[in-house]
Amino acid sequence: MCVAVPVEIVKIDGTEAWVNFGGVQKMVSIALVEDVKVGDYVLLHAGCAVSRLDRKEAEKTLELFKAYTMMQKE
């Protein structure tokens, strides 16, 4: 199964960007998504942003990931 996760763009350098995922920052490719800006959320898969996501949907998805993680710990 493939999973794409929402991440927030924190810095852009050409076709690459630093993103934040749960406090972890990582450099990823944004070459596949047009007009990405700092503060935008994108779906990240295998080190590449594959689409833009609105903030509300990103936060909802992150909450679901968090709930799933908590369930796995029980």
The domains found in the chain, sorted by start residue, are: 5-73 (2.30.30.140)
Per-residue confidence (pLDDT) for residue 1, from 0 to 100: 61
Question: What is the CB neighbour count within 10 angstroms for residue 49?
Answer: 26
pLDDT at 74: 72
Give yes or no for residue 49 having a pLDDT over 90.
yes
Instruction: Give pTM, 2 decimals.
Output: 0.84
pLDDT higher than 80, residue 61: yes
Closest Cα partner for 61 from 2, 1, 3? 3
Looking at residue 4, what DSSP letter applies? Answer: -
